[in-house]
Structure 1
Amino acid sequence: MRKIDQIADQYVEDAIALSPMNATAMGVPGHDHELDDLSPAGFAAFADLERRTIAALEAAEPVDERERVAKEAILERLRLSLERYEAGDAYLELNVLSSSVHNVRQIFDLMPKDGKVAAENIAARLAAVTEAFKQYTETLRAEAAAGRVAAKRQVLEVATHCDNWNGSKGPGTDFWANLISSVTIDGEPITSGPLKIALGNSAAWARAATHNFARFLREELAPQAPEKDAVGRDRYSRASRYFIGAAIDLEETYAWGWQELARIEADMRATCERIKPGASIEEVVAFLDQDADENFTDKNLFRDWMQELADSTIADLADKHFDIPEQIRTIDCKIAPTEDGAIYYTGPSEDFTRPGAMWWSVPEGQKLFGKWREKSTVYHEGVPGHHLQVGQTMARTELLNRFQRQMMWCSGHGEGWALYSERLMDELGYYDDDPAGRLGMLDAQSFRAARVIVDIGLHCEFTIPEDNPFGWRPGEEWDGEKMFEFMKAHTRTIEDDMLSFERNRYLGWAGQAPSYKVGERLWMQAREDYKARKGADFSLKQFHTDALNLGSMGLTPFAEALARL
């Protein structure tokens, strides 16, 4: 094996040893009964692994272009990850979507549920939740002693999530009880015997650990947490580079966000003319929400529609617009076993026996499910979005080492590609006969552009421009309430409960939300640069193949690698 691939593969082996949860996510057997070490020592061990790997890669010379790309891409990710750890930023990632406690809860979604071994693994991992949450409590206490605590809003919201997982929303909402009831042997429920007892006891321990962790957040951590949501320019710059994989001009990007939002909303008004001439955007949205052909009132029927659309899109795009490996021509659409409001994708297992999946955590109270609202979401999470990108990366064993296939992720690259995919489907004509679906896509684009504005504006403490194109609160300062008000004014397809979750997400996960739209911007620029270099030989399908075959990486090394093709 070549040196850089050897270093990368050794990192994966070492990371799996440190993180059984990563092993489960990757589909690597033998670790499903364990949880990660969430103590300060556990985090330090990962940082030490990153330092050793960086040093080894810096000393190794690539033998060809493929290894050069791998070296540059891996170094960029590890250096930024280590920078965040050493600055204490990684510990501050306690928010409504991304934290170690969420990682523990979500890993159970990816575990096999049928068979004696599966049942034993779930019981053992549930029993390990108590120690994992004690370790995480120790870590958060140590960071608080050093003056590093997430904003109070996030601390309290995560505590509420813990309550929700424990069934605070009423009968049928206890995640732990629902988990053990889903475990079967040969498809039959486990109704008696030692495994039934072990599962019940372990679920009770996990529930108690979750309750204790929520109490720690409320009673001990929240009183030490800052009221201020903004993280400041220095921390934001680090976060932005980490999530985008490129250093951007924050002032220029903030100004661009306002311009891009105005451009998209002008397109929305033109699209509304095709649906209901003379009506405003809000009137057209109300019209579509009353259209029985455009909506479901049953989330399971809506899931079935999403599955059918995802399947038909794969069949239609394969071999025509994209090279889609056979292993990833299957995707599962699932309703998540929680009500947190998130929509997310999980990749296939390493051997592809577990397909990739798009998950929708339907917020409590949501009763209307619009096809026109979510068509672009299926493209975003499925094909040509995350499922194609992640799956193709995993299938390219001849081009990418195991680190690149399994552990490399940059939000700007991945989410930028997913937004590019939504836009591409419009370019390819998939909305030509569906102006309602196109309006939904544009509203999603409007939402992502607005996120650029509010995220940079609030966390970097920029003022609202005096000459902003909407004449909205010129010269005022951002806060959480204005953020919600602005987002509500510029999205028509998200209900208030979901929008509140989104607002809290931006407040607590600084720099991540703009990576979608900024990533799309950089993907579009990369395509134009590639097209200019290829001239008459430009092929859109070949661009997609060449770009995705590089694997996931930060957008600066991506642009540099693509320029060498």
Structure 2
Amino acid sequence: MTAQLRVSLMMGLLMAGTVPILPVATAAEAATVSSSAAARFKAIASAEYSWRQTMQAPDEDSPKGTPLHLPDVGPKAQAEKLARWTQVSQQLAAIPQSQLSTEDRVNFAVYQGQIDALLASQRYRDYEKPFNADSSFWGDIAEWPRGVFKTEEDYRSYIAMLREIPRYYDEQIVNMRAGLARGFTAPQITLVGRDVGLAAVADTKSPEDSAFYAPFKTRPATISAADQADLRRQALQAIGDAVVPAHAKLLHFMRDEYFPKARTSIDAYALPDGKAYYRSKIREFVTEDKSPEEIHQLGVAEVARIRGQMLDVMKQVGFQGDLPAFLTFLRTDPRFYAKTPQDLLDRAAWIAKTFDGKASEWFGHLPRSRFAIKPVPADLAPFYTGGRGGPGIYLVNTYNLPSRPLYSLTALTLHESAPGHAFQMPLAAENKDLPDFRRSEYLSAYGEGWAVYCEALGEDMGMYDTPYDRFGMLSYQMWRAARLVVDTGIHTEGWTRQQAQQYLHDNTAMADHEIETEVDRYIAWPGQALSYYMGEQAILNARHRAEKALGPKFNIRAFHDAVLSLGSVPLPVIDARIDQLIADGGKGPYPDEE
């Protein structure tokens, strides 16, 4: 493929109109690409990304070895973020993209998309609403005791973080009070019971009983008994003097001040500058500038299409009745539900291992990282999704087993474990050819779009053993298509919470408990639910285009490797990469794919 063609193909890298279409460079011009533009871009991105890491708390997806710390989230730090990202945005605008190499144009599009989203979030002061229906800043911190600490430095870093909690929570309270003052809060209906995690810590009778003390109950062989005793003493003191009082103070604030004064409306349009805010969330989570009306209508059309496929499965199994009756049958027949939490975990493990036996047929490049399968922690489970995956972990929700159907478990496992999140995210992190801001950061449209694509890919891979399993996959596809209707319906068309729940009840096989938690998630997290189906559609459309253009030269392993080699990118970057795959005659990024 010529340098001119590569440059031409990459002109499609538009992130909400931020990357202009530029003249195609000649081969001679390409050979003399200005190093000054590239150097300026790399210097800006490297300095900002390093600084960005210091301004946010590490979480379970952070690279191993990341020091534990709680950043400053007070007014001064928020002003600093706004100023820094405004400056970076202006600096990027001054870089002549025509002088960047093809590779750096891709990097530029990805990086500018990140900056645009960060800057919009800062301008709308999202930090004044620092939690949603199923995740929170205190919940993120609570996850760390479940991590594995090996060195004395790990333990001391953890103790130092525990001592920071009072300051960190006080800053979050100040921010939330500012949100209360201007009506920028989580909806009141989504807050019911969300204080259980705080109460569990605040009501701790003895520091030894706290989950925060769990890492100190075992002693790594690398740490002497004397040093371990000192670490335990310091941990107990930090938990008693800092952790428990901070949680008690935050719990008091949430119950007595925040919950009663939170807004009663559920739509994003009711927030300050709500219409512009919701549109910014579409750009953030879809990585394209789509209108709510366009997305809503796509959802309605896709719901109708998938419904037809569901009816075909009903005929296949010989069910006598209509779709609502079939959904009731699926929700109530005991054969479709595990008897014990361990049964559910065992079935998930079997499905994951079944994929392992097929992986090399569908992917040329596999991640080195492996993952564990564990139940969702008990304090999170009542409000958590059916499962969640990422580097090193696939969490399966074993709470309320009658709401965890086995016919959906294959689709859930392909999404959350391999080849979904616990596969794609490690591949990005292991790709040393990408800059850090593409290896470590996560764009929902790409990451969730890939994971939903993996559910449908399960049919190609022969993962669905029964028609009911396939119906479970279709129900998941319907769920994501229905989200386009529900999210835009709630936030732009005046839908009620009950109306949204009924729409999912009528069109999916999801249990009512899961429907309730999901709808509350959409209410509290505007726009995020749109990323899943929009991302999957982008990948499916790219695959269909490549299959048509390449014919017998199309190689599914090369296609998957090309998509996964990108890291986490805006959706237009996928299109451009598949343009390149087509121009290269179907040859993927790795030499052993033929």
- Which range, TM-score by smaller chain? 0.7 to 0.9
Residue 177 of structure 1: how far off its partner (Å): 1.8
Find the residue that maps to 2:186 and give its secondary structure: coil
1:186 pairs with 2:220: yes
C-alpha distance in 2 between matches for 1:288 and 1:153: 26
Bigger Rg, which one:
2
C-alpha distance in 2 between matches for 1:256 and 1:30: 41
1:440 pairs with 2:492: no
What amino acid maps onto 1:544 in structure 2?
Answer: H
C-alpha distance in 1 between matches for 2:429 and 2:398: 29
What amino acid maps onto 1:255 in structure 2?
Answer: Q
Match of 1:37 among 72, 81, 86: 72
What amino acid maps onto 2:505 in structure 1?
Answer: K
Residue 516 of structure 1: how far off its partner (Å): 0.9
Deviates most, 137-146 or 372-381? 137-146
Contact 1:229 1:507 (C-alpha < 8 Å) held by counterparts: yes
Residue 306 of structure 1: how far off its partner (Å): 1.6
Change beyond 3 A, Cα 1:193–1:85: same
1:249 pairs with 2:291: yes
1:453 aligns with 485
Q: Could you list the per-position Cα deviations for residues 310-348 of structure 1 after superposition, in whole angstroms to 9, with x for gaps in the alignment?
A: 233134212x211233413x2221213232323564543
1:15 aligns with 52
Change beyond 3 A, Cα 1:75–1:186: same
Equivalent residue runs for 1:396-411 within 5 Å: 396-398=431-433, 400-407=434-441, 409-411=442-444
1:483 pairs with 2:512: no
Contact 1:21 1:36 (C-alpha < 8 Å) held by counterparts: no
Contact 2:403 2:510 (C-alpha < 8 Å) held by counterparts: no
Equivalent residue runs for 1:224-243 within 5 Å: 224-232=261-269, 233-243=275-285
1:46 aligns with 81
Find the residue that maps to 1:26 and give its secondary structure: coil
Match of 1:341 among 384, 397, 407: 384
Contact 2:85 2:119 (C-alpha < 8 Å) held by counterparts: yes
1:351 aligns with none
1:358 aligns with 394
Contact 1:289 1:370 (C-alpha < 8 Å) held by counterparts: no
1:317 pairs with 2:352: no
C-alpha distance in 2 between matches for 1:291 and 1:333: 24
Contact 2:446 2:535 (C-alpha < 8 Å) held by counterparts: yes
1:65 pairs with 2:102: yes
Contact 2:546 2:578 (C-alpha < 8 Å) held by counterparts: yes
Equivalent residue runs for 1:182-331 within 5 Å: 182-183=215-216, 184-186=218-220, 193-204=229-240, 205-232=242-269, 233-281=275-323, 282-283=325-326, 286=329, 290=333, 292=335, 295-318=337-360, 320-328=361-369, 330-331=370-371
C-alpha distance in 1 between matches for 2:70 and 2:418: 32
Residue 250 of structure 1: how far off its partner (Å): 2.1
Match of 2:459 among 421, 426, 444: 426
What amino acid maps onto 1:508 in structure 2?
Answer: A
2:28 aligns with none
Find the residue that maps to 1:247 and give its secondary structure: coil
Change beyond 3 A, Cα 1:419–1:164: farther
C-alpha distance in 1 between matches for 2:239 and 2:508: 40
Find the residue that maps to 2:362 and give its secondary structure: coil
1:82 aligns with 119
Change beyond 3 A, Cα 1:93–1:506: farther
Contact 1:347 1:390 (C-alpha < 8 Å) held by counterparts: yes
Deviates most, 264-273 or 194-203? 194-203
Change beyond 3 A, Cα 1:487–1:439: same
Contact 2:367 2:427 (C-alpha < 8 Å) held by counterparts: no
Residue 406 of structure 1: how far off its partner (Å): 0.9
1:392 pairs with 2:427: yes
1:540 aligns with 556
C-alpha distance in 2 between matches for 1:303 and 1:507: 30
C-alpha distance in 2 between matches for 1:523 and 1:444: 17
User: How many pairs does the alignment contain?
Assistant: 529
1:122 pairs with 2:158: yes
Contact 2:481 2:533 (C-alpha < 8 Å) held by counterparts: yes
C-alpha distance in 2 between matches for 1:41 and 1:361: 39
Change beyond 3 A, Cα 1:367–1:207: farther
Change beyond 3 A, Cα 1:556–1:455: same
C-alpha distance in 2 between matches for 1:165 and 1:370: 32
1:509 pairs with 2:525: yes
Find the residue that maps to 2:365 and give its secondary structure: coil
C-alpha distance in 1 between matches for 2:333 and 2:208: 34
Match of 2:546 among 508, 520, 530: 530
Equivalent residue runs for 1:132-171 within 5 Å: 132-155=168-191, 158-163=194-199
Query: What residue ranges of structure 1 are gaps of 5+ in the alignment?
Result: 349-355, 462-476
Give the aligned CA root-mean-square deviation in angstroms.
3.3
C-alpha distance in 2 between matches for 1:552 and 1:198: 40
C-alpha distance in 2 between matches for 1:504 and 1:243: 18
Contact 1:344 1:359 (C-alpha < 8 Å) held by counterparts: yes
Percent of matched pairs sharing the same residue: 21
1:494 aligns with 511
Residue 256 of structure 1: how far off its partner (Å): 2.4
Q: Could you list the per-position Cα deviations for residues 2-43 of structure 1 after superposition, in whole angstroms to 9, with x for gaps in the alignment?
A: 634444333332222223515x742252612x2122222333
C-alpha distance in 1 between matches for 2:404 and 2:257: 40
Change beyond 3 A, Cα 1:136–1:361: farther
> TM-score, length-normalised on structure 2?
0.80
1:464 aligns with none
C-alpha distance in 2 between matches for 1:164 and 1:268: 43
C-alpha distance in 2 between matches for 1:389 and 1:287: 31
Match of 1:375 among 394, 405, 410: 410
C-alpha distance in 2 between matches for 1:279 and 1:310: 34
Find the residue that maps to 2:510 and give its secondary structure: coil
> TM-score, length-normalised on structure 1?
0.84
What amino acid maps onto 1:418 in structure 2?
Answer: A
C-alpha distance in 1 between matches for 2:490 and 2:123: 24
Residue 196 of structure 1: how far off its partner (Å): 3.1
Contact 2:449 2:534 (C-alpha < 8 Å) held by counterparts: yes
Residue 284 of structure 1: how far off its partner (Å): 6.9
Residue 227 of structure 1: how far off its partner (Å): 1.2
What amino acid maps onto 1:215 in structure 2?
Answer: H
What amino acid maps onto 1:512 in structure 2?
Answer: Q
Deviates most, 159-168 or 451-460? 159-168
C-alpha distance in 2 between matches for 1:256 and 1:95: 26
Find the residue that maps to 1:229 and give its secondary structure: coil
What amino acid maps onto 1:322 in structure 2?
Answer: F
Find the residue that maps to 2:432 and give its secondary structure: coil
